[in-house]
Structures are given as C-alpha cells and as structure tokens.
Amino acid sequence: MSLNSQLEDAHWFDRLDIIGDVHGCEQTLSRLLTQLGYQKEQGAFRHPERIAVFVGDIIDRGPRIREALQLVRAMVEAGSARMILGNHEIHALCYCTPHPSAAGNYLRPHTPRNTQVIADTLAQFAAYPDEWQDHLRWLRTLPLYLDFGAYRVVHACWDDAVISARRSTQLSAEELNAMADPACPDARAIKRLTSGFEVALPEHCPMFSAEGYRRRSFRAKFWVDNPATLADLEFQPDALPPEVAQLPVDTALRSQLVVYDSHQPPLFVGHYWLSGKPSAVANNVACLDYSAVRFGRLVAYRTDGSGLIKPQNFAWVYVDP
C-alpha cells in the first residue's frame, strides 16, 4: 500500500506506532523502527502499512542528537511519521529565539540551568549552525498535540480547558514570544501541554531532589477523579514525604485539577521517566517514556483499531549501557 492510499484510508490511525522520548538515542531508535518493520528507503524509514508518531523530546541529553533529529524529520517529510513538540523542543525554541524587546536577550534566559538542559544539543550542532537554525524553523511548524479522534497524543498533559481554547494545534509567533513571561496565560497553557500538571508543595514542607535542589512542586496525575490526598495525585519523580502525602486536596487545589476522564479516547504521552515493564497508567492513558537515554527502554505503542490500550501492544528495545 502506498503512503498516499494509506492516508486516504479512513482507518489509517488504527495503524499508528506511537514512540516515546528519543533524547538523541538515534541508534536505539533505528533498532526499534527495524523491529517494528520499518525499512529505510530513499533516505527515510517507512512502513508499508503503518505510520510512526513521535511524542516529542527528540533532542537533548543523548549521544546522537543531530542524527536523531535528521531521522525523525526525514520520516515526517516523507509522510511516514508525525511528530509533536516536547518540553525540550519548546525549551530549544525559547532558548534560541531572541527576545522581541530586550536586545541581546532570549525568550528563555541563558542561566546555567537553562544552558545545561540544551548543552549537548548545541555542542553536537556546533559545527552545523545553519542546519540547527533550519531545524528550529522546522520545529516551529510542528503541532503541540494530535487528535486522531480514536486516539490522542500530547507530550505531557491533555488539558481540555487549554486545548478547547486553542485556534490551532501549532504554536503561533505570538505564543512563542509570550513564553518570555512564564507567568502569562499563553506560556502557562503551553507549559501545561508540554510539561504537565504540577502541584505546588506547601511552604512548610520542603522537599529536595536527588541532586539536592529544593522542589517547589511535583508532577501530578491528570486523570484522577476526586482525589482525597496529595498521595492520590503523586506521579513523579520522588516519593512525597509522608507528612506531605497525607495532606488533603483542599478547595483551592480541587478547583485547579485536570481530570482526563475515563470516557475520553486513549491518550499517549511521554515525559515522565518511567521504568519497569511498559503498561498503561490508567485504562485510557499510557506514558511511553521509559528513560531510553538513562539506559532504560525506548517504547512504542501499536494501535490496532480496538479503541483500547492493551498490554500486548507495547513494544520496546532495551538501551545498552
């Protein structure tokens, strides 16, 4: 079946291979695609009957970021894949885009921490500045989420309030510039989709990460109906201290909850550094980020038209240290 006839097929979205955070692990990605039946033809991996969907975070951290981005872009341009933006692509766009009014500055300030996040990517593109600028222009054309009707894909959190207010799946120039002020509504909306739903930690209960910096918030589940305590919302990354976990979900927090309810279509995200055997986190939500770049697994979910998330439809390759 040719790609064109595939796209005209009303059920082509029943044959998606949705792939988690790649983070520069290009050789691992090639192995996964080969295992899934994709073959490189005319410069791009293609499958005779299926389309790959990347959940974002192709760049940063890994050993072959340039090659990973080239591989994914070639597939998208050949029509054999789609890709949405992850928080790392958003970070790259903000880090590399000059501030519209503050000369010499960028939408995201070049602090040590912001620089650290993108350092591997910039180092690997150091000899190819024009190519990097071209990739940035291309990234700006990509969607923030995909709604196939029967399936949905977003990097970190499907928030109906944010998505229903949007006019486009893509990031507009105004929205990108708005990212200069992280507190503004547009910036918070983009952050919600690409970085997830975060719950602030109470001031009197400090929590510290493994690296020793103080956490102001934790990444929370966005599919829990009627949570009683913070423990019911806790998703990532560290276990909450017991005195925090047992705190009730108060009225203020209750009014801010994001609830992807169990009647909505199966949703696929990346972002959360999971480990262990890939499986769904709710009956209609699956995270496909199993920490490939930290020697975990690079994971795909293969849709089959059932409208369900089935354990046997997860596929993966291990990453060798």
Residues contributing to the site for Mn ion (CB under 5 A)? 21, 57
Query: Which residue lies nearest Mn ion, judged by its C-beta?
Result: 57
CB 189 within 8 A of CB 171: no
CB of 230 to Mn ion, least distance (A): 24
CB of 181 to Mn ion, least distance (A): 24
Buried b (16+ CB within 10 A) or exposed e, 18-47: bbbbbbbbbbbbbbbbeebebeeeeebbbb
Question: For residues 47 and 61, which CB has a smaller minimum distance to Mn ion in the complex?
Answer: 61
Question: For residues 26 and 57, which CB has a smaller minimum distance to Mn ion in the complex?
Answer: 57
Question: For residues 45 and 290, which CB has a smaller minimum distance to Mn ion in the complex?
Answer: 290
CB 241 within 8 A of CB 247: no
CB of 15 to Mn ion, least distance (A): 25
Q: What residues form DSSP beta bridges with 267?
A: 152, 285
CB of 17 to Mn ion, least distance (A): 18
CB of 21 to Mn ion, least distance (A): 4
Over its C-alpha atoms, the chain yields an Rg (Å, rounded) of 19
Question: For residues 21 and 234, which CB has a smaller minimum distance to Mn ion in the complex?
Answer: 21
| Separation of alpha carbons 23 and 142, rounded Å | 17
Going through 33-172 in order, the beta strands assigned E by DSSP cover 39-41, 44-46, 51-54, 81-83, 145-147, 152-154
Neighbours of 300 (CB within 10 A): 24
Question: For residues 58 and 178, which CB has a smaller minimum distance to Mn ion in the complex?
Answer: 58
